[in-house]
Amino acid sequence: MVAEDGSIAESQEEREQAIMRAHFPKAPPSSFEPGEGGRAFERVDANLVDSLLAKAANTSAPGDDRILAGIVKVFWQWDKQRIVQLARACIRLG
Give the total residue count for the chain: 94
What pLDDT digit, counting tens, does each position of 67-91 carry? Answer: 888 888 999 998 999 899 989 888 8
Q: What angle do CA 81, 44, 73 make, to 5 degrees?
A: 50
Q: At 42, which amino acid appears?
A: E
Whether this model's pTM surpasses 0.75: no
Give burial (CB, 10 Å; 0-12/13-18/19+) of 83: buried
